[in-house]
């Protein structure tokens, strides 16, 4: 827990995003604010797609979304998220 807490504090103090990728098998406790599961979905029209599951979120609820990459943008459940300039 000490190592993941240090990573969490470093991410909070940075303008960048902090990601910790772990194998599901043998996962121990973590101090991460959120826990996600990301899986691939079959491509449609040669566009990569993912299933995004928010498993844990402090002061939040679990939820699921489908996302795809199209025309240089990430689309989440039909809503387009523009890439920051």
Q: What is the average pLDDT value for the chain, to the nearest integer?
A: 80
| pTM for this model (two decimals) | 0.67
Averaged over 28-48, what is the pLDDT? 82
The predicted-structure confidence for 43-84, as pLDDT tens digits, reads as follows 877 788 999 998 888 888 888 999 998 888 888 886 666 555
Residue 25: phi and psi, rounded to 5, are: -70, 125
Helix ranges (H only) for 1-85 are 2-12
Instruction: Kindly list the distances between the CA atom of residue 22 and the CA atoms of 3, 13, 37, 74, in Å, as whole numbers in the listed order.
Output: 13, 22, 10, 23
Q: How far apart are CA 7 and CA 83, in angstroms?
A: 25
Mean pLDDT computed over 19-34: 72
């Amino acid at each position: 827990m000490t190592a993941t807490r240090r990573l969490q504090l470093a991410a909070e103090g940075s303008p960048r995003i902090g990601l910790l990728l772990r194998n599901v098998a043998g996962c121990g406790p973590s101090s991460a604010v959120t826990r996600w599961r990301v899986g691939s979905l079959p491509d449609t029209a040669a566009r990569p797609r993912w299933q995004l599951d928010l498993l844990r979120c402090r002061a939040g609820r679990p939820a699921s979304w489908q996302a795809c990459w199209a025309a240089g943008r990430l689309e989440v459940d039909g809503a387009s998220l523009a890439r920051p300039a």
